[in-house]
Amino acid sequence: MANLAVQIDQLSRFYKSGKNQITALDNITFELETGAQVALTGPSGSGKTTLLSLLGALEHPDSGQIILFGQNINLMNERQGADFRRHNVGFIFQDDALMPELTVFENIALPLILIKTTAKEIERRVQKILADLDLAKFSQSFPPSLSGGEKQRVAVARAVIHRPKLLLADEPTANLDRQAATLVLDAIDKLAVEYNLTMIMATHDPRVYNRLPTRLELIDGKLI
C-alpha cells in the first residue's frame, strides 16, 4: 500500500551473553501509515531501543523483514544503510548528544551538511527552525551554557532539519522536569505535523504516551 510508512514482518533479534542467547525481539509484526505518531512503551529491557535501532538501520535483524517507505532495509549494506539514515531518519536520544564545541546553529546544521545542502538553504532552514522553537536567541551559544530543556529542543531541531520521513525518539523527556518536558513535546508535535513525519517514540512516561494517538507495547521482546 502506497501510504504505508513502516512494514514489520516476523521480526526477531537475538544477542549472545556468554553461552546464553538473549531474545531482544521475538517475532513481532505491525504496520504504520505515513504520518502515524506512535508511543512505544514497555519496561526496561523489553526491546524498545533494539526496535528503534533496527528501524534506523543501525543494525540488522536475525530474522524477519523491515520495509520503510517501500525500501527493504534488510538488503542494505553498511554504506547504503548510512545513506538511508542521512536522508530519511531523524534521531532524538535521552541524552541530547549535542557537540559541545559547536554552536547551536552549527549543531542543527550538521545533518544538512552531511547531505551536501547549499549554504544558502542551510541558513534559511536553520534560522526558520530556530524561530519556530523559540531558540533564535541561542543561535551562537554553545550547548554547555543551555538548560537541559533548551538543549533537548536543539536536539529536536537537529533531528528534523533535513526533513526526514521517520523520526525515532528514545526516552526524549526522561531527564527533564515537567515544564521542560512539555516544551520539548510541544516542539516535537509541532514539527511532526508540519513535516508530516512518521514518528515512533519509546517511553515509559505517561506525560508522553498519553499525548500520542497510537500505542505499541513490548513485553520481553513480544508485541502485545
pLDDT at 206: 86
Mean per-residue pLDDT for 67-90?
Answer: 94
Residue 159 falls inside a structural domain:
yes
Residue 90 falls inside a structural domain:
yes
DSSP 8-state code for residue 162: T
**Whether residue 56 has pLDDT greater than 80:** yes
CATH code (residue 135): 3.40.50.300
CA distances in angstroms from 3 to 34, 89, 144, 205, listed in the order given? 6, 17, 41, 29
The C-alpha atoms of residue 35 and residue 43 are separated, in whole angstroms, by 26
163 neighbors 198 (Cβ within 8 angstroms)? no
Residue 152 falls inside a structural domain:
yes
Strands 214-219 and 37-41: parallel
Q: What is the pLDDT of residues 35-48, one digit of tens each?
A: 999 999 999 889 99
CA torsion, ordered 94, 95, 99, 100, to nearest 10 deg: 150
**Whether residue 134 has pLDDT greater than 60:** yes
Mean per-residue pLDDT for 153-163?
Answer: 96
Quote the domain boundaries for residue 140.
34-62+86-223
Residue 48 falls inside a structural domain:
yes
Cell of 223: 508485541
Which H or E run contains 181? helix 178-194
Q: What is the pLDDT of residues 81-130, one digit of tens each?
A: 999 999 999 999 989 999 999 999 999 999 999 999 999 999 999 999 99
Average confidence score pLDDT of the chain: 94
Percent of the chain residues topping a pLDDT of 70: 99
pLDDT band of residue 158 (cuts 50, 70, 90) is: very high
Cell of 218: 513490548
Total tally of structural domains belonging to the chain: 1
Residue 13 falls inside a structural domain:
no
The DSSP line for 56-113 is TTSS--SEEEEEETTEEGGG--HHHHHHHHHHHEEEE-SS----TTS-HHHHHHHHHH
Residue 200 falls inside a structural domain:
yes
pLDDT at 2: 57
CA distances in angstroms from 94 to 43, 150, 209, listed in the order given? 16, 13, 15
Residue 69 falls inside a structural domain:
no
149 neighbors 180 (Cβ within 8 angstroms)? yes
Residue 78 falls inside a structural domain:
no
**Lowest mean pLDDT segment, chosen from 115-119, 133-137, 207-211:** 207-211
Mean per-residue pLDDT for 155-167?
Answer: 96
**More reliable by pLDDT, 207 or 186:** 186
